[in-house]
Amino acid sequence: MSTTSIIIVPGWRDSGPGHWQSLWAERLPHARRVVQDDWITPTRLAWVGQLEKTVLAAPHPVVIVAHSLGCIATTHIGPEAAARVCGALLVAPADPERRAILNDFAPVPYAALPYRSIVVASSNDPYCPIRLAGAYARAWGSEFVRMQNAGHINIDSGHGEWPLGWALLQSLDGEAGARLAQPTLRPYASPAAA
């Protein structure tokens, strides 16, 4: 039976408590979370370097679970690290050209990724137009999942446990996905509603 290492790659300003990435990291005891030295003023060299180091240290072939700027960092990894990746779930990719603080990650690579990938994007993501996310997916050779009015697919848009994403992770994780326990879904109360 094959085994994979799940690597969680948060985006700009990290994924806090209640974010689906944080909830999944708690549920998957062998998952590794990429931790950046600077979550506020990211540089491509530092972020990609930390991601590559985490991928290369993983004991098994890697499935990446990235959000926002983490998706863009993932597409920048070099060939040695990319060779260890067997799949990537790329959720709500960022548009570094629209936000000056993320500019160091531009231009975004427009080459096919050498592993299976799924891009998930929302029709009303304030950080990346759906047409651009679709262009990324086509360029990267990714399957494309378009969500309607799902915002940035984070805690602010009501995505805590996010069962659809969990199912997509299982599809990427293949045989190893069968061993991922189905989550116990907790109700999510938006901070705005409180």
Whose CA is closest to 15, among 167, 155, 118, 166? 155
Residue 163 confidence (pLDDT) above 60: yes
Q: Which residues contact residue 124 at a Cβ distance below 8 angstroms, ignoring those fewer than 6 apart? A: 130, 149, 150, 151
pLDDT in tens, 25-74: 999 988 999 999 999 999 999 999 999 999 999 999 999 999 999 999 99
> How far is it, in rounded angstroms, from Cα 2 to Cα 194?
44
% of the chain beyond a pLDDT of 90: 86
| 93, amino acid identity | P
Whose CA is closest to 158, among 191, 113, 116? 191
Q: What is the pLDDT of residue 2?
A: 53
pTM for the model: 0.89
Alpha carbon of 144 to those of 50, 135, 184: distances in Å?
27, 10, 27
